[in-house]
Structure 1
Amino acid sequence: MKKVLVIAQFTQLPGETGNNRSRFKLICEMLAKEGYDVTIITSKFRELDRTFRKENELYNSAPYKIVTLDEVGYYKNISFKRIYSMWSFTWSLKNFLKNTNEDYNLVYACVPGLDSALIAGKYANRKNIPFVIDVQDVWPEVMYDLVLDVPIISNILFSPLQLMANKVYAMADGIMAVSKTYLEIAERKNRKSGIKDYVFIGTDIEEFELSVNENINVVDKPSDEFWIAYIGSLGHSYDIYTFIEGAKKASEKGINVRPIILGSGPLEKNFKEFAKRIGSNAYFTGWVDHAMMGSYLKKSDAVINAIKRKAPQSITNKVGDYLSSGRPMLNGSLNLEFLELLNDYKFGFNYEPESSESLYLAIEKIYRLSKKEREQMGSNARRLAEEKFDRKKTYPKIIKMTEKLVEKSY
């Protein structure tokens, strides 16, 4: 039986919640279903909620093997402790690969983390087996806006990370990415691989519908309120201040709009204090599970892709859920790939990121549409979800890439 090793420091395991973080869990399940002997290596530390994993009986019932390695953990996104924590996982991975007796036929690694992907790539090269990377995010690009956005100093500060990223990209025999944007960044540094593709993170639409239907009545929405929902991290890349302020301006103009903010993150307290200071009626739910999140989306009148101007994110985790909900979207992303989708499918309106006035005008525009017009936009969103974001339809491309590389290595 051919063996595949999946290395994903940040992932969801059986029995765990994680909203839309189950990409590698599903990949492992699909590979196992195709007859591969699959092992996934991840961390004992869950970065999602900053907790340490305990042995779960569901691990043993999974159709693949699960290995959790030591990591010291951290509590702040931007901290030396986080850097040390990621290094500690890399050391654990290095030791595991040094001492394993297994003969794998392919290594499939999540990027980031870069350190662990580099170790995985070196191991694959030593063993002369295919190495596949799955680009989930682009480091260090994502860090410029988060830490220090001073062009020359930033380039110097992050140059070691950029060199590491380039090495990882260059050694890959196969490149998978969560967007065309990320694929193009990785393949610019790769002269080795002829097998490259992208598959949006997406969502399982059938599962989404089932969970929403079970919880839809839990969410009580006043009929006179116009809800706009945001889901995801409350962190530095996301334009929540503009969302709160733009909605406040709309309410001052007579639109009974209410921002519904689902999620948590390092700036949650700051956003709440800002909302209180300007007299916003924004409702913060905190972290909710995937079923409840979907129910809020379905009850809302619109959704918002609130992202900062310089943020490098392309097609983020939340997009699949937004589109699956069948709600029109207010979009602040300037990513060309996303703007092309919006133009082709016509599922919402753009606004200028970090401009509360522009967002207010977009809110007014979507509010003034007839019910039929909003429903048409929502139907367009749902059509896009079904065509390009439904994991049952799109993830087989990932499995086919893996199969090609395994067969090619024989």
Structure 2
Amino acid sequence: MKKVLVVAQFTQLPGEKGNNRSRFKLICEMLVKEGYEVTVITSRFRELDRTFRKNNEEYKNAPYRIVILDEVGYYKNISFKRIYSMWSFTQSLKKFLKDSNEDYDLVYACVPGLDSALAAGKYANQKNIPFVIDVQDVWPEVMYDLVLDVPLISNILFSPLQLMANRVYGMADGIMAVSKTYLEIAKVKNSKSSIKDYVYIGTDIENFDLSVNGHINVIEKPVDEFWIAYIGSLGHSYDIYTFIEGAKLAKEKGINVRPIILGSGPLEKDFKEFAKKMGSNALFTGWVDHTTMGTYLKKSDAVINSIKRKTPASITNKVGDYLSSGRPMLNGSLNLEFLELLENYKFGFNYEPENPKSLYIAIDKMAKLSMKERELMGQNARKLAEEEFNRKNTYPKIIKMINLLVNK
């Protein structure tokens, strides 16, 4: 039986909240069904909620082996403690790999973290086995505007991280990415492999429908309110201030808008205080389970892809759920790949990020559409979800890549 080692520092495990979106959980399950013996390595520290994992019986019942390595943990996204924490995980990973007596046939690593992926890649090269990276985000690009938006100084400050990223990209025998945008960034630094592809994070549409349809009457929505829903992290990359202020402008102009903000994150308190200061009627739900999240989306009149102007995010986790809900979208992303999807499928309106007036104009335009016109936009969104974001149809491409490399 062929053996695959999966290194995923940031992931969810069976029984943990958030694992409905866990790309690596599904990949591991699919590999087991394909006949592989799978070991997944992750951290004791859960980046999602800044907690530490304890022994869980569900881990033992998983169809693949789970190895949890020590990491010191951190509380702020941008901090030296985070750098140290990620370094500590990499040291744990190096020790595990050095002491391991297993003979793996392929290593599949999440990027980021970069240092742990580099350690995994070096191990694969030493063992002369294929190394595949799954590019979830692009570091250090994502950090430029969040830490220090001064081009020359930023380039100098982050040059070690960029060099590390380039080394990881360059040593890969196969590149998988969560978007075409990220794939193109990684491809530039890789002349080694011709096996390169992208698969959106997506969602399990069948499970989405089953869970939401059985829950749809639990949440009540006043008929006179125009709900716009945001889901996901309440962090530095997401333009929640504009969402709150733009919705408030619309309400002042006579559109009975209510922002529905589902999720949590490091700026949750700041966003709530801003909403209170603005006199906003925004509903902050905090973290909710996948069923409740999907139900809010289905109950809403529109969804919002609210992203800061300079954030290099491409096709984020939330997009698959947004599209699956069949609701029209207000889009603030300037990512060319996403703009092309919106243009081709016509599932919403764009607005200028960090411009509340622009968002108000888009909300006004959306609210003035007839119910039939909004339904058509929603149908277009759902069509895109089924064609490009349905994991059951798209994730086999990942398994195919692994099969090609293992049997090469």
Could you state the TM-score of these two structures normalised by the residue count of structure 1?
Answer: 0.99
Q: Deviation per CA, 1:319-369, whole angstroms, max 9, x where unpaired?
A: 000000000000000000000000000000000111111100000000000
Cα gap change, 1:19 to 1:108, in 2 (>3 Å): closer
**Aligned residues of 1:179 and 1:315 also touching (Cα < 8 A):** yes
Q: 1:36 corresponds to which residue?
A: 36
Percent sequence identity over aligned pairs: 84
Q: 1:400 corresponds to which residue?
A: 400
Is 1:380 matched up with 2:387? no
Q: 1:282 corresponds to which residue?
A: 282
Counterpart CA distance in 1 for 2:219 and 2:19 is: 18
Counterpart CA distance in 2 for 1:219 and 1:337 is: 34
Size of the aligned set, in residue pairs, is: 408
SS in 1 for 2:407: helix
CA RMSD in angstroms, aligned pairs only? 0.7
Segments of 5+ residues of structure 1 without an aligned counterpart are none
Q: Deviation per CA, 1:229-262, whole angstroms, max 9, x where unpaired?
A: 0001111111111110100010011000000011
Is 1:13 matched up with 2:13? yes
Cα gap change, 1:368 to 1:19, in 2 (>3 Å): farther
Counterpart CA distance in 1 for 2:109 and 2:367 is: 44
Alignment of 1:143-292 (within 5 A): 143-292=143-292
Q: CA deviation at 1:102?
A: 0.1
Q: 2:329 corresponds to which residue?
A: 329
Alignment of 1:73-92 (within 5 A): 73-92=73-92
**Aligned residues of 2:19 and 2:25 also touching (Cα < 8 A):** no
Counterpart CA distance in 1 for 2:116 and 2:148 is: 24
SS in 2 for 1:9: coil
SS in 2 for 1:76: coil
Q: 1:304 corresponds to which residue?
A: 304
Cα gap change, 1:315 to 1:136, in 2 (>3 Å): same
Counterpart CA distance in 2 for 1:16 and 1:379 is: 32
Q: 1:316 corresponds to which residue?
A: 316
Q: Deviation per CA, 1:147-190, whole angstroms, max 9, x where unpaired?
A: 11110110010000000000000000000000000000000000
Q: Deviation per CA, 1:37-93, whole angstroms, max 9, x where unpaired?
A: 110000011110111111111112211111000011111111111111111100000
Q: CA deviation at 1:214?
A: 2.8
Counterpart CA distance in 2 for 1:58 and 1:324 is: 29
Instruction: Name the aligned partner's letter for residue 234 of structure 1.
Output: L
* Worse overlay, 286-295 or 370-379: 286-295
SS in 2 for 1:215: coil
Segments of 5+ residues of structure 2 without an aligned counterpart are none
Counterpart CA distance in 2 for 1:21 and 1:40 is: 16
Counterpart CA distance in 2 for 1:356 and 1:301 is: 19
Q: Deviation per CA, 1:74-124, whole angstroms, max 9, x where unpaired?
A: 111111111111111000000000000000000000000000000000000
**Aligned residues of 2:259 and 2:281 also touching (Cα < 8 A):** yes
Counterpart CA distance in 2 for 1:123 and 1:19 is: 28
**Aligned residues of 2:134 and 2:178 also touching (Cα < 8 A):** yes
Q: 1:55 corresponds to which residue?
A: 55
Counterpart CA distance in 1 for 2:269 and 2:129 is: 47
Q: CA deviation at 1:197?
A: 0.2
Could you state the TM-score of these two structures normalised by the residue count of structure 2?
Answer: 0.99
